[in-house]
Amino acid sequence: MIRIGLLTSGGDCQALNATMRGIVKTLFHNVKDGIEIYGFEDGYQGLIYGRYREMSYGDFSGVLTRGGTILGTSRTPFKLLDTPGEDGIEKVPAMLHTYHKLNLDCLFVLGGNGSTKTANRLREEGLNVIALPKTIDNDTYGTDITFGFTSAIDIATKCIDDIHTTANSHRRVFVIEIMGHKVGWIPLYAGVAGGADVILIPEIPYDMDNVIKAIEARDSNGGRFAIIAVAEGAISKEEAAMKKKEYKKKVAARVKPSVVYDIAEEIAARTDREVRVAIPGHTQRGGQPDAMDRIFATQCGVEAAKACMDGKFGIMIAQVAGKMCHVPLEDVAGKLKYVDPDGDLVREAKALGISFGDE
Ligand code: F6P
C-alpha cells in the first residue's frame, strides 16, 4: 500500500490534470497492494489547513484534456512561509502535521519556482517530496521544458496570427503583451511562430530608438503594418542599468497597467502610425493542453510515480536534452532559467530580420 498526497500550487496552467492522471494511473497499475490518494485543495493552503479529499482512480479518468486543475490552486509565497497568517497558524508545522496525520508516503507537488522552493523546504523538514515542473513561463531551472509552456505558445501565437488581419487592414502597429513573468520564453517562441517584426524580452534590454528604426525599416520595405511581441517583463537598456531598488520604484510608480502601454505611447509619439495594444492575458494559461503538453505531462507523471515506487524523494522530475531524468530539489529550488541572448532561436530570429531592440 502506498499513500500519496497531490497538490497543484501557484498559477494554474494546461496539463496539470494530465500530470496527476499520469501519476495515479502509473501507481494504480504497478503497486500490487493498492494506493490511497489524498488531493489537497487550493495548493499548499489545503496542506496547511487540512483541506483534502480522498480520491479514487476514477477521479482521474477523463481529465487528460481538461485545463485548469481539479484540485484548485493558490499562491502561498515562500517568503511568508515562516510568518504566521492573520489567524496565527504556523504554516510549516501545520503542513507537517497534515502530512503525518495522513501517514503519507509521498507528497507530489505540481508547481513552478516558488512552489518548488516550498517543496524543498518540506524536504528539509523530512518529508518525502517529489516536484513536477509546471508553468507556462518555462522558467524552471534544471529542466529544458515545463508543462503548460507549449500550450501557452500556441495561444500567444494565435493572438499574433489573428491580429495580423486588422493590423494589415488599418496599417497599424500592434504591441502585444505576452506572459512569462521575468523571462522571455513565451514571447520568443510565439514571436517567431507568429512572425512578429520585433520581440522584446527581459533577457535582451531594448532601446526605443532601435524599435522605432525597426518599424521604419519595415515601412520602407513595403510592410503595411508591424507587430511587436513584448514580454510582460521587458525592460529598456536604461532600466536594466538601474539598481534593482530604483527599477522596482519606477515600476511601482507606473501609471499605466504595464510596460506595453508605455511602449505603444512612445511609438505613437515618435512615428505617424496608429498604434494599438492587445493583451491575451490569462487566456494563455487557459483551455485544453496541446498534444505536446499532454505527452510531457504524462511522461512527468509516469516518472514521478516510478521514482516514488523506487523510494526516490527530494527530487524534481525534468527533461534534459530530450531525456527524462530527476534533479535534486536542493539544486534547482529558487533558481530561474532564462533565455540565452546568444541562443540558437534568438540568433536565427535575428538572421530573419526580427529586431530585439538591442541593436
Ligand atoms: O507564472 C504564470 C503567470 O501567468 C505569469 O506568466 C504571470 O506573470 C503571472 O502568472 C500572473 O499571475 P496571476 O495569475 O497571479 O495574475
Residues listed for the chain: 359
Task: Using alpha carbons, list the distances in angstroms from residue 46 to 9, 20, 95.
Answer: 10, 16, 9
User: What pLDDT, on the 0 to 100 scale, is given for residue 171?
Assistant: 96
User: What pLDDT, on the 0 to 100 scale, is given for residue 219?
Assistant: 86
Average pLDDT, the chain: 97
Percent of the chain with pLDDT over 70: 100
Q: Return d(Cα 345, Cα 356) in angstroms, integer.
A: 12
DSSP-derived 3-state class of residue 170: helix
The best mutation among 136, 189, 259 to test binding of ligand 1, ranked by most ligand atoms within 8 Å of the C-beta, falls on: 136
Query: Per residue in 87-113, pLDDT tens?
Result: 999 999 999 999 999 999 999 999 999
Task: Using alpha carbons, list the distances in angstroms from residue 158 to 155, 190, 254, 280, 337.
Answer: 5, 8, 29, 10, 25
Q: Which atom belonging to ligand 1 lies closest to the Cα atom of 284?
A: 4
Active site residues: 137
> In 31-98, at which residue ranges do the beta strands (DSSP E only) sit?
35-40, 52-55
CA of 181 to the centre of ligand 1 (A): 6
User: What pLDDT, on the 0 to 100 scale, is given for residue 206?
Assistant: 98
The best mutation among 8, 181, 188, 251 to test binding of ligand 1, ranked by most ligand atoms within 8 Å of the C-beta, falls on: 181
Q: Return d(Cα 269, Cα 275) in angstroms, integer.
A: 10
Which residue CA neighbors atom 14 of ligand 1 most closely?
A: 11
- Report the predicted TM-score, pTM, of the whole model to 2 decimal places: 0.96
Q: Return d(Cα 335, Cα 333) in angstroms, integer.
A: 6
Query: Per residue in 17-28, pLDDT tens?
Result: 999 999 999 999
CA of 10 to the centre of ligand 1 (A): 9
User: What pLDDT, on the 0 to 100 scale, is given for residue 220?
Assistant: 87
pLDDT band at residue 116, thresholds of 50, 70 and 90? very high
DSSP-derived 3-state class of residue 137: coil
Q: Return d(Cα 166, Cα 254) in angstroms, integer.
A: 29
Q: Name the one residue in this structure whose C-alpha cell is 509516469.
A: 302
The best mutation among 110, 153, 179 to test binding of ligand 1, ranked by most ligand atoms within 8 Å of the C-beta, falls on: 179
Which residue CA neighbors atom 9 of ligand 1 most closely?
A: 181
> Is the model's pLDDT at 222 over the cut of 90?
no
> Is the model's pLDDT at 353 over the cut of 90?
yes
DSSP state, residue 79: G
> In 241-345, at which residue ranges do the beta strands (DSSP E only) sit?
275-278, 315-320, 323-328
CA 256 to chain CA centroid, nearest Å: 24
Mean pLDDT value of segment 174-182: 97
CA of 149 to the centre of ligand 1 (A): 13
Which residue CA neighbors atom 13 of ligand 1 most closely?
A: 11
Q: Which residues line ligand 1 (CB under 6 A)?
A: 11, 112, 135-137, 179-181, 232, 285
CA of 12 to the centre of ligand 1 (A): 8
CA of 226 to the centre of ligand 1 (A): 27
Look at residues 74, 94, 112 and name the one whose alpha carbon lies nearest to residue 333.
Answer: 112
Query: Per residue in 298-327, pLDDT tens?
Result: 999 999 999 999 999 999 999 999 999 999
Which residue CA neighbors atom 1 of ligand 1 most closely?
A: 11
Mean pLDDT value of segment 2-7: 98
| Helix, strand, coil in percent for the chain, rounding step 5 | 45, 20, 40
Mean pLDDT value of segment 176-196: 98
CB 4 within 8 A of CB 38: yes
User: What pLDDT, on the 0 to 100 scale, is given for residue 148?
Assistant: 98
Give the amino acid at 321.
A
Which residue CA neighbors atom 2 of ligand 1 most closely?
A: 11
> Is the model's pLDDT at 124 over the cut of 90?
yes
Query: Per residue in 40-93, pLDDT tens?
Result: 999 999 999 999 999 999 999 999 999 999 999 999 999 999 999 889 999 999
User: What pLDDT, on the 0 to 100 scale, is given for residue 85?
Assistant: 85
pLDDT band at residue 199, thresholds of 50, 70 and 90? very high
Which residue CA neighbors atom 8 of ligand 1 most closely?
A: 181
